[in-house]
């Protein structure tokens, strides 16, 4: 949050329309105040100031402090539902006196800096007034001269007066800009979450989380439906238990109860307290790799929240296979490595119960295998119970026991999963002139700087209308860069990328792009409004686009974006793209985090789109086990190069046929 303010202030420093951006920078600060305590704002301000000072020194720091002050007032006024007038009056009374006092005191102490600044203002005005007289605007110059003269002479009066006006204007502008945004943020996220009842008893109770016995456990979120009902099970030390079930079956709730959340019904019996995050207590690894890493460096992350002297960091990194990366920054790790790091951070607490809550679902296949192997080794290495929650039945085969959940109830474990074979492309009829052409395309980020990094090299690709292409590659293989180039939002540094002969960067919008983080693609507050805005179409067209992706407009058009599930968000984003009638669609990791039914439904939809509408599809994925029929060509990227093309024997001169 503080980062966002910082970024906006930074941009504000660099852009001429700075004032508006500073007002925008108030919004994140105000959002903190609306949703949290003032103390959080204080911490956020300190954080933003520290980073801001590192970036641009004192000037940025001062503007950040001012933004925080404005944010506090606007946030508070939103909480109290004040009008603009009351906000301005109260805000001015609160902010202006200290601001003016500090400014006047500072200028009084720094006499030479003050003199230089005032001289600079006088000089600039004198230059301006002379030029004004030259071009026949002497009137303006005559009016301005005495004003500037007395303003610079009586700076001790002008500065506070100027600040008073500035404070009032800034407050009003911030209020106008921030209010609607804050309302939408509140709508999107609902009321601030109450302090989670994750157990705090363990201060008095020694941690001893296993064996844990659940009997007749039920859970209901406040004013929500029952997500778990009558669940009874027992977890013993030294065993690996897999919990399977589709999205929304209550798996994650069960996981949180195992690590200490108090159920709303039934009983949980343990020898001691759950001790979440404590030594010899329980530990949990979540789904999103980048969201649970807290340290800047790998080494820091392992010991985050611990006394570093008591932890054998290298031993733990060895165990999770990250020994060589100990000093790397965590932002440079792949998803699989991040998840293994999260397991490492859990192991640093020598837990007796380790819960993995869908930790494998956003990770590429190699990373997944390594992670499952790791989870498998842990129970054997000590008296640790491991619970692996997953929607992939294939991951259960190595578990000692499988528990299946469906709609909040325990059900009989499903049979072995159907074996998926690697995607086998179907032949695509040739002959049509190619739609997308990439010739010797390469891309280098941050060219001519010490941080230059090559993402793509010599990529040649011809895609026909209606063709389906799967781009495979591991994290960091350049596949997302390729996706962005195909969508025209990134201009390659080498080679040419064309859509029907025109450079792609000038056809932005004609190739749809579905980004991996679907939430960022939905900018309006409801699904229907977003589709309409994305495509520039009316409500009716938006409704039919929603219907075309299998979402009933009657139900979903008015549905808030933040109430959608991950799969539904992807569909709404897709509807927004389709309504704009693109010639091709690029989808970046469209299946990450979806369970089998969700994935199958999306695949079915995409296949239908290709067959009925003749839209060219480019699917970028790390998953080579996609169902047949989706694509008819597979390209594999490795370190920015195309190392495999199922269509390699296709005549490049397109005079011949296969």
Partner 1 sequence: MIPAPAETTTSRRPRRRPEITVLRLLPRPSPLHRLWAGTKLLVVAALALMVSVRPTWPALGVAAAIVALGAVVAHVPRGAVPRLPRWIWMALALGAVLAAQSGTAPLTHVAGVELSLGGLGDWGLLTLLTVVLLAAALLVGWTTPLGEVAPALARLATPARWVRLPVDEWVVAVGLAIRCLPLLIDETRTLVAVRRVRRRRVTIRRSPVRTTLRMVGFEAHDLLATAVVAALRRARDLADAIEARGGIKATTGEASAPGMADLVVLGTIIVVVAATLLL
411 lies in the site for partner 1, by CB under 8 A: no
What residues numbered 41-60 form the site for partner 1, per CB under 8 A?
42-44, 46-48, 50-51, 53-59
CA angle 236, 240, 245 (to 5 degrees): 110
Per CB under 8 A, the segment of 216-224, 325-333, 406-414, 620-628 that binds partner 1 is 325-333
Task: Give yes or no for a cis peptide into 161 (omega within 30° of 0).
Answer: no
Residue among 489, 500, 541, 547 that touches partner 1 (CB under 8 A): 489
487 lies in the site for partner 1, by CB under 8 A: yes
CB of 413 to partner 1, least distance (A): 28
Q: DSSP state, 594?
A: -
Residue among 170, 463, 469, 515 that touches partner 1 (CB under 8 A): 515
What residues numbered 618-637 form the site for partner 1, per CB under 8 A?
none
What residues numbered 250-309 form the site for partner 1, per CB under 8 A?
259, 275-278, 281, 283-286, 288, 290-297, 299-300, 302-308
CB of 36 to partner 1, least distance (A): 9
Specify the residue, 333 or 619, whose C-beta has the smaller distance to partner 1. Answer: 333
Helix (H) or strand (E) holding 109: helix 84-109
Q: DSSP state, 605?
A: H
Rg over CA atoms, the chain: 30
CB of 633 to partner 1, least distance (A): 20
Residue among 9, 12, 22, 28 that touches partner 1 (CB under 8 A): 28
> Do residues 398 and 377 lie in contact, with contact meaning Cβ atoms separated by under 8 Å?
no
27 lies in the site for partner 1, by CB under 8 A: yes
Total residues interacting with partner 1, rule: CB under 8 A: 137
Specify the residue, 314 or 377, whose C-beta has the smaller distance to partner 1. Answer: 314
Could you give the CA distance from residue 274 to residue 200 in angstroms, rounded to a whole number?
9
> Do residues 357 and 375 lie in contact, with contact meaning Cβ atoms separated by under 8 Å?
no
Specify the residue, 14 or 165, whose C-beta has the smaller distance to partner 1. Answer: 14
- Residues 357-387, buried b or exposed e (16+ Cβ, 10 A)? bbbbbbbbeebbebbbebbeebbeeeebbbb
CB of 216 to partner 1, least distance (A): 26
| Total length of the chain | 658
Residue among 65, 198, 268, 500 that touches partner 1 (CB under 8 A): 198
Specify the residue, 113 or 139, whose C-beta has the smaller distance to partner 1. Answer: 113
CB of 123 to partner 1, least distance (A): 4
CB of 159 to partner 1, least distance (A): 16
CB of 25 to partner 1, least distance (A): 10
466 lies in the site for partner 1, by CB under 8 A: no
379 lies in the site for partner 1, by CB under 8 A: no
Specify the residue, 286 or 544, whose C-beta has the smaller distance to partner 1. Answer: 286
CB of 198 to partner 1, least distance (A): 6
Helical residues (DSSP H) of 110-239, grouped into ranges: 111-134, 138-153, 155-189
Sign of CA dihedral 359, 393, 565, 195: negative
Within 10 A of 552 (CB to CB), how many other CB atoms are there? 11
CB of 646 to partner 1, least distance (A): 23
Binding-site string for partner 1 from residue 334 to residue 363, where x marks contact by CB under 8 A and - marks none: -----------xx--x--------------
> Do residues 237 and 385 lie in contact, with contact meaning Cβ atoms separated by under 8 Å?
yes
What residues numbered 131-190 form the site for partner 1, per CB under 8 A?
131, 177, 180-181, 184-185, 188-189
Binding-site string for partner 1 from residue 493 to residue 512, where x marks contact by CB under 8 A and - marks none: --xx-x--x-x-x--xxx-x
Nearest to 346 by CA among 260, 286, 268, 390: 286
- State whether residue 58 is helix, strand or coil: helix
Q: DSSP for 306-344?
A: S-GGG--HHHHHHHTT-GGGTTSBGGGS-HHHHHHHHHH
- Edge-first strand order for the sheet with 633-638 is 511-514, 584-588, 616-621, 468-472, 633-638, 641-645
Residue among 535, 542, 557, 626 that touches partner 1 (CB under 8 A): 535
The bridge status of strand 511-514 relative to strand 584-588 is: parallel
Nearest to 634 by CA among 461, 441, 495, 456: 461
Q: DSSP for 20-54?
A: HHHHHHHHHHHHHHHHS-HHHHHHHHHHHHHHHHH
CB of 89 to partner 1, least distance (A): 25
Q: DSSP state, 181?
A: H
Per CB under 8 A, the segment of 4-12, 92-100, 220-228, 546-554 that binds partner 1 is 4-12
Could you give the CA distance from residue 40 to residue 232 in angstroms, rounded to a whole number?
40
Specify the residue, 129 or 423, whose C-beta has the smaller distance to partner 1. Answer: 129
203 lies in the site for partner 1, by CB under 8 A: no
Per CB under 8 A, the segment of 157-165, 230-238, 266-274, 323-331 that binds partner 1 is 323-331
Output the CA–CA distances (angstroms, integers) from residue 464 to 436, 583, 612, 651, in the order listed: 7, 11, 16, 13
CB of 654 to partner 1, least distance (A): 8
What residues numbered 580-609 form the site for partner 1, per CB under 8 A?
580
> Do residues 342 and 274 lie in contact, with contact meaning Cβ atoms separated by under 8 Å?
no
4 lies in the site for partner 1, by CB under 8 A: yes
Residue among 520, 540, 613, 648 that touches partner 1 (CB under 8 A): 520
Residue among 136, 418, 653, 656 that touches partner 1 (CB under 8 A): 653
What residues numbered 75-134 form the site for partner 1, per CB under 8 A?
110, 112-113, 116-117, 119-120, 122-128, 130-131
């Amino acid at each position: 949050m503080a980062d966002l303010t910082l970024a906006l202030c930074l941009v504000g420093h660099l852009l001429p329309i700075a004032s508006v951006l500073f007002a925008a920078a108030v919004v994140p600060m105000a959002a903190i105040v609306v949703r949290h305590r003032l103390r959080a704002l204080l911490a956020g301000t300190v954080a933003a100031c520290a980073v801001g000072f590192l970036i641009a020194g004192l000037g940025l720091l001062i503007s950040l402090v001012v933004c925080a002050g404005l944010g506090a007032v606007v946030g508070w006024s939103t909480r109290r539902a004040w009008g603009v007038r009351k906000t301005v009056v109260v805000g001015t009374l609160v902010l202006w006196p200290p601001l003016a006092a500090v400014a006047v005191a500072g200028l009084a102490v720094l006499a030479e800096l003050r003199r230089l600044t005032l001289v600079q203002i006088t000089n600039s005005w004198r230059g301006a007034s002379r030029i004004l007289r030259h071009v026949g605007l002497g009137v303006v110059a005559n009016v301005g001269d005495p004003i500037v003269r007395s303003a610079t002479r009586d700076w001790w009066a002008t500065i506070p007066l100027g600040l008073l006006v500035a404070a009032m204007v800034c407050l009003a502008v911030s209020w106008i800009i921030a209010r609607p945004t804050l309302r939408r943020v509140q709508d999107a996220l609902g009321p601030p979450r109450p302090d989670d009842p994750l157990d705090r008893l363990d201060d008095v109770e020694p941690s001893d989380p296993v064996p844990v016995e659940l009997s007749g456990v039920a859970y209901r979120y406040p004013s929500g439906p029952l997500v778990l009902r009558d669940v009874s099970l027992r977890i013993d030390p030294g065993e690996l238990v897999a919990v399977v079930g589709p999205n929304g079956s209550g798996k994650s709730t069960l996981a949180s109860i195992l690590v200490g959340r108090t159920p709303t019904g039934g009983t949980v019996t343990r020898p001691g307290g759950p001790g979440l995050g404590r030594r010899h207590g329980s530990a949990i690894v979540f789904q999103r790799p980048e969201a649970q890493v807290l340290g800047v460096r790998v080494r820091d992350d392992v010991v985050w929240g611990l006394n570093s002297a008591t932890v054998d960091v290298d031993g733990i990194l060895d165990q999770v296979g990250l020994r060589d990366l100990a000093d790397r920054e965590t932002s440079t790790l792949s998803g699989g490595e991040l998840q293994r790091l999260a397991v490492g951070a859990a192991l640093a607490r020598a837990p007796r119960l380790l819960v993995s809550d869908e930790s494998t679902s956003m990770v590429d296949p190699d990373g997944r295998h390594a992670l499952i192997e790791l989870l498998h080794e842990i129970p054997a290495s000590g008296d640790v119970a491991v619970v692996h929650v997953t929607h992939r039945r294939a991951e259960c085969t190595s578990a000692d026991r499988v528990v299946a959940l469906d709609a909040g109830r325990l059900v009989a474990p499903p049979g072995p999963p159907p074996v998926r074979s690697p995607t086998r492309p179907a032949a695509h009829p040739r002959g049509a002139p190619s739609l997308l052409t990439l010739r010797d395309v390469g891309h280098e980020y941050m060219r001519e700087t010490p941080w230059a990094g090559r993402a793509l090299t010599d990529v040649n690709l011809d895609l026909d209308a209606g063709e389906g292409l799967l781009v495979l590659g591991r994290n960091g293989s350049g596949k997302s860069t390729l996706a962005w180039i195909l969508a025209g939002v990134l201009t390659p540094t080498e080679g040419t990328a064309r859509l029907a002969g025109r450079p792609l960067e000038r056809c932005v919008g004609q190739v749809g792009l579905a980004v991996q983080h679907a939430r960022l693609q939905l900018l309006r507050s409801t699904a229907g409004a977003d589709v309409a805005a994305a495509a520039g179409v009316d409500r009716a067209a938006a409704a039919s686009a929603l219907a075309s992706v299998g979402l009933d407009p009657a139900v979903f058009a008015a549905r808030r974006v933040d109430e959608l599930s991950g799969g539904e968000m992807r569909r709404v984003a897709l509807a927004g793209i389709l309504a704009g009638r693109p010639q091709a669609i690029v989808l970046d990791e469209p299946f990450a985090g979806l369970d089998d039914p969700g994935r199958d439904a999306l695949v079915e939809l995409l296949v239908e789109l290709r067959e009925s509408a003749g839209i060219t599809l480019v699917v970028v994925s790390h998953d080579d086990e996609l169902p047949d029929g989706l694509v008819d060509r597979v390209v594999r990227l490795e370190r920015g190069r195309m190392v495999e093309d199922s269509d390699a024997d296709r005549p490049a001169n397109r005079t011949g046929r296969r």
